[in-house]
Amino acid sequence: MKKIAALLLAFVLFLMLLPFGPDIALAADELSFVEDRAGLLSEAQQMTLEKRASDLSAKYQCNVLVFTVSDMADYGYRRNIDEFAYNYYTQFILDGDRGNDCVLLVLSMADRDSDLRAWGDYAKTAFSLYGIDNMLDKHVLSPLGSNDYYRAFTAFFDRAEQYFEMAENGRPFDAKNDPSKVVGRLVIAFVISVLIALLVCLVWRSKMKTARLARSADNYIPEGGFRLTGQGDWFLYRTVTRRKIEKSTSSGGGSGGARSGGVGGSSGRSGKF
């Protein structure tokens, strides 16, 4: 009887040790907003960013997270960092009952892989694909590439706050509401207005002139006519026409990037830094 009980106990322990797929191995109630397993930040930097992310998440009711690892292969993922990010999202956001909305920046340092992804209707409204491209290309990838991780994560949270504010005001960050393009359109409108005003003034000025062009030069020819005693060729003007040759471009950060949707109903972009 004791042998049977011992065999059953051994069998139960064996089942408990069987792998059931990749797992991040962190209890849901231990979630940090800035989970730096790659050791990229100092303790002071970690605390500062943790509070910033916590405040943003509470204010806008959307989880804003950073997750770094030395190598995602340690968790069973060798190439698809977007799937690795989705695994993290499902374990600590959905299973943790923290709502559906989440914006997550993931780094795997072994091959310098990155992924910025949004889940949930509100998060995807605030973080359009245009906004994600703009954030990565103009604010995040450059400091990541120079190993200034604190500045990169700070820029991520700064831009996230801007995106949330714009979404709250009904103007989510996209090609139409990009502040830099709005300023450009205002400058163009101002220049056009000045040109129109200048044209109107020139028309008015022309109407005020009393002199008129003569149809012939008879008044300038001396009596008896004139005699041409010499002639020469003078080069006065040259017109040069140039045509710009457009170069093909491709979007992506670092050595390349892939914009995607559909990973757990998300929108985002992965690539190298």
78 pLDDT band (50/70/90 cuts)?
confident
At 12, the pLDDT band (50, 70, 90 cuts) reads: very low
Give long-range contacts, CB 8 A cutoff, 24+ apart: 71-76: 71/108, 71/109, 71/110, 71/111, 72/108, 72/110, 72/113, 73/110, 75/22, 75/23, 75/24, 75/25, 76/21, 76/22
Band the pLDDT of 136: cuts 50, 70, 90.
Answer: very high
The pLDDT score that the predictor gives to residue 241 is 73
Per-residue exposure over 225-253, b if at least 16 CB sit within 10 Å of its own CB, e if not: eeeeeeeeeeeeeeeeeeeeeeeeeeebb
pLDDT, tens only, 167-215: 999 999 999 988 876 444 444 544 455 556 566 656 666 666 656 666 6
Rounded Cα distance, 273 and 254, in Å: 4
Measured over the CA atoms of residue 89, residue 91, residue 94 and residue 97, the dihedral's sign is negative
Q: How many CB atoms lie within 10 A of CB 67?
A: 25
pLDDT at residue 268 is higher than 80: yes
Average pLDDT over residues 127-146: 97
pLDDT digits (tens, 9 = 90+) for 101-119: 999 999 999 999 999 999 9
Asked if residue 145 belongs to a domain, the reply is yes
| DSSP state letter for 10 | H
pLDDT at 62 over 90: yes
Please give the Cα distance from 54 to 34 (Å, whole number): 9
Selected residue with higher pLDDT from 126 and 225 = 126
Q: Find residue 64's DSSP bridge partners.
A: 103
Any domain includes 96: yes
Residue 125 resides in a domain: yes
Q: Are 103 and 160 in contact (CB under 8 A)?
A: yes
Mean pLDDT of 48-54: 98
pLDDT at 24: 64
Q: How far is the C-alpha of 248 from the C-alpha of 245, rounded, in Å?
A: 10
Residue at 93 is within a domain: yes
CATH of the domain at 82: 3.10.310.50
Q: Which of 8-17, 111-120, 131-140, 217-226 has the lowest mean pLDDT?
A: 8-17
Looking at the structure of the chain, the number of domains it has is 1
Q: What is the mean pLDDT of residues 208-234?
A: 66
CA distances from 227 to 149, 168, 222 (A): 84, 83, 10
In a domain, 28, yes or no: yes
Is residue 87 a part of any domain in this protein?
yes
pTM of this structure: 0.66
Burial class (CB in 10 A: 0-12, 13-18, 19+), 106: buried
Of residues 211 and 270, more confidently modeled: 270
CA distance 85 to 258: 14
Does position 234 have pLDDT exceeding 60, yes or no? yes
Does 9 fall in a domain? no
Q: How far apart are the first and last CA of the chain?
A: 61
- 68 forms bridges with which residues in the sheet? 36, 107
Residue 33 lies in a domain: yes
Residue 117 pairs in a beta bridge with: 104, 268
Q: Which domain holds residue 116?
A: 22-177
